[in-house]
Amino acid sequence: MPGARVRFARTQVIDVLTAEIMPVLRESGMAGRVEYVCDMRLFNDHPSAAQMLIDILTDRGYSASHSTEVSHVPISSECGSSATCALIPS
């Protein structure tokens, strides 16, 4: 049911905003710039969650942007008698 997943993401975004982002914004108000970095799967699994967060912050007068950094880490490798190994992604 897609609606249930979207509602779940909305409550998660509000929780992240109130518990993690707003305290950082309040503490760093004088600096004029804050960079919030997280590795939450919420923003990767629900692309609309990042857009929702940006919309909320923009509506409140903040200039917000979002970027995703993906790094691939091999789970296992098969090394034979040769000098090269084949990496096997998950």
Tell me the pLDDT tens digit for each residue of 43-69.
Answer: 888 888 989 999 999 998 888 888 877
CA angle at residue 40 from 35 to 46, to 5 degrees?
A: 105
Which is higher by pLDDT, 14 or 84?
Answer: 14
Number of domains composing the chain: 1
- Contact partners, residue 20, CB within 8 Å, separation at least 6: 36, 38
Q: In the chain, pLDDT over 90 holds for what percent of residues?
A: 21
Whole-number Å distance between alpha carbons of 41 and 9 = 11
The answer, yes or no, to whether residue 79 has pLDDT greater than 90, is no
Q: Which domain holds residue 26?
A: 2-88
